[in-house]
Amino acid sequence: MEKKNSKINSNKIGPEIIRLMVVSIILNFSIASSIASEKLNVLFIAVDDLRPELGCYGVNYALSPNLDKFANTSVIFRNHYVQVSTCGASRYALLTGRSPNNSGAMQNNALHGGRTAIQDKQLPGAQTMPELFRRSGYETVLIGKISHTADGRVFSYNGKGDGRHEMPGAWDRLATPMGQWKRGWGIFFAYGNGKHREDGKGNKDLMEFIVEKDTDLPDGLLAESAISQLTLLKTSKKPFFMGLGFFKPHLPFVAPKQDWDAFEKITIPDPSDKKPFNSPYKHGSGEFFKYSTPYKKTRPLNRESANMARRAYLACVRYVDRQIGKVLIHLEKTGLSKNTIVVVWGDHGWHLGDAQQWGKHTPFEIANRSVLMIRSPGIDGGFSTNALAETLDIYPTLLDLCEPKFNKTHHPLDGVSLTPVLRKEKETVRKYATSYWRDAISVRSKTHRLVAKMKDGKIVNKELYDLSERLDTVDNVASKGSAILEELTKQIPNGK
């Protein structure tokens, strides 16, 4: 059989058909170009004092169904470490992308007042991550605690201050609702019915679970504000960067009654080790014990009291999990999830009675390890990674994901992008993770943590913890691990 000529004879095609073909090609090219140039939105969710005590991190007594569901579409970093185990300095590192070794920001005043304040210590280019997004054409919205203050304005705990923006140039809108508590630190240290720790009325109860509605407390109002803002942003012609910072499970432990009741039949294990750290960095849990408790305050807490405090913490986690769920559901309903990166981040870990420690403020594993989950359009999530990651890595990762149409006018960043891990191009992008606390530098490898006490730039004491089997170990093995000790010591800047 004779083959037919497969070449198209343009002379036999009518002008109308040619016109339609040209229009089709132009239309397809335009759509492709539009998709290629479309900027991704960012929803950055910070949760204060959230240690990896979630179902998706393998904790079967935690009640976190919404974050567990989110984990099914995101990448979970099981070994994420903050730069400093306190709120202000940890968030300074996140927002500026600068290591404490370079910035000197080690304390809570890193973001407001003091010599390392962003508004007082200007850097070349953009000062913070949200400011860089704003300079690049993004609409930026703040709700809750992303920097150190509870609402993005500078006031002291007693309400005094000039109310200036904690991060000048960062936000188009501050959309934190004050509710009955009227001011930032009031909503942060809130109890039910408009009471709060700093209202001058002596409210310092460790825990309270009396209200019925989510919106009877600030975190419920934050979720409502986020939903309203997402609806508004849906109609905007600009991409957006939203910072949404929830307060719980930070002290005091306050949540609706249903969250406390949910644990009535759940067995919560005792703290992992009753033996304290034999370290100069163990502390007296002062932030925790300054609150009034419904039980006898002993040091250490007895088993019943410790269990009650752990239940209160987990109840607050459940409350925040439900608020995050509401926001993520609305993100789906608006269709914004198709073009929005979502990051869930804990600003540090928390000793929940482990080794007789309650709180953060140590250079140990439990205080530095925190939650990090990232979901991005175009990246298949639903898996976890043991890759080491630092909070410093979040800034360059978001820059990577928001390319190519991005204005990179900013100061040098000290982290590395996690994008190769997200895309499964690499198993890890760093061999060590470094954290700081007062005069200590702590280096985490795949299996160990070195805690080195520094004086005048020299190491005067070393502690080494083998974390290959237990993350909460309190056994210092420095005398037994000379090779790994030497390896990690070399990672300390100017360490000797």
Phi-psi region of 80 (alpha: psi -120 to 50; beta: other; left: phi over 0): beta
d(C-alpha 366, C-alpha 268), whole Å: 18
Going by pLDDT thresholds of 50, 70 and 90, the confidence category of residue 22 is: very low
Q: Does the residue 5 lie in any domain?
A: no
Q: Is 355 a residue whose pLDDT tops 50?
A: yes
pLDDT value of position 488: 96
Q: Are residues 353 and 492 in the same domain?
A: no
Of 405, 427, 449, which residue is a domain's last?
A: 427
Residue 123 is part of a domain; what is its CATH number?
A: 3.40.720.10
Rounded CA separation 309/289 (Å): 11
pTM above 0.75, yes or no: yes
pLDDT confidence of residue 89: 93
Residues 333 and 409 in one domain: yes
For tokens 């339609």, what's the residue?
A: 20
Lowest mean pLDDT segment, chosen from 78-82, 107-111, 200-204, 422-426: 107-111
Measured CA to CA, the distance from residue 349 to residue 223 in angstroms comes to 23
Alpha-carbon distances of 165 from 30, 93, 119, rounded to whole Å = 41, 18, 8
For range 293-317, the mean pLDDT: 93
Would you place residue 455 in the very low, low, confident or very high pLDDT band (cuts 50, 70, 90)? very high
pLDDT value of residue 282? 92
pLDDT for residue 10? 41
When divided into structural domains, the chain yields a total of 2
448 flagged as catalytic: no
Q: Is residue 227 part of a domain?
A: yes
Q: Which of 56, 80, 112, 148 is flagged as catalytic?
A: 148
Q: Is 400 inside a domain boundary? A: yes
pLDDT at 215 > cutoff 50 = yes
pLDDT of residue 20: 47
* CATH code for the domain in which residue 479 is found: 3.30.1120.10
Identify whether 8 is part of a domain: no
| Per-residue confidence band for 104, with pLDDT thresholds at 50, 70 and 90 | confident
* pLDDT surpassing 90 at residue 28: no
Q: What angle in degrees, to the nearest 10, is found between the helix axes of 218-234 and 303-334?
A: 20
Tell me, yes or no, whether 170 and 191 share the same domain: yes
Pick the range with the lowest mean pLDDT from 156-165, 275-284, 476-485. Answer: 156-165
Give the per-residue pLDDT at 124.
52
Range of the domain at 237: 39-427
Between 35 and 419, residue with greater pLDDT: 419
Is residue 200 domain-resident? yes
Quick one: pLDDT at residue 29?
40
Whether residue 192 is found in the same domain as residue 268: yes
Q: How confident is the model at residue 458 (pLDDT cuts 50, 70, 90)?
A: very high
Q: Within this chain, do residues 320 and 446 fall inside the same structural domain, yes or no?
A: no
Same domain, 319 and 456: no
- For residue 250, pLDDT over 90 is answered with yes
Under DSSP, is residue 324 helix (H, G, I), strand (E, B) or coil? helix
Note the pLDDT of residue 189. Answer: 97
Residues 6+ apart with CB under 8 A from 151: 142, 144, 145, 174, 176, 178, 183, 184, 187
- Clarify whether 148 is annotated catalytic: yes
Q: Are residues 180 and 271 in the same domain?
A: yes
Please indicate, yes or no, whether residues 66 and 176 belong to a single structural domain of this protein: yes
Q: Are residues 385 and 494 in the same domain?
A: no
Residue 396 maps to a domain: yes
pLDDT band at 275 (very low <50, low <70, confident <90, very high): confident
Give the chain's mean pLDDT. 88
Region 205-218 average pLDDT: 98
**496 plus 390 within the same structural domain:** no
Q: Which segment, 8-12, 73-77, 199-203, is predicted with the most confidence on average?
A: 73-77
Mean pLDDT along residues 11-31: 47
Q: Is residue 23 part of a domain?
A: no
Residue 496 has pLDDT above 80, yes or no: no
**159: helix, coil or strand?**
coil
Is residue 29 a part of any domain in this protein? Answer: no
Between 318 and 302, the more confident residue is 318
Judge contact between 320 and 214, C-beta under 8 A.
no
212 with 181, same domain: the answer is yes
Instruction: Considering the candidates 56, 87, 316, 402, report the single residue annotated as catalytic.
Output: 87
Last residue of a domain, one of 427, 461, 479: 427
Mean pLDDT, rounded, for 312-325: 98
Domain boundary among 427, 459, 474: 427
Q: Residue 113's pLDDT is what?
A: 38
Residue 232: pLDDT over 50: yes
Residue 123, pLDDT above cutoff 80: no
User: Is residue 222 located within the same domain as residue 368?
Assistant: yes
On whether the CB atoms of residues 241 and 41 are closer than 8 A, the answer is yes
pLDDT at 27: 43
Can you give the pLDDT at residue 19?
Answer: 57
- Examine the pLDDT at 349 and tell me if it is beyond 70: yes
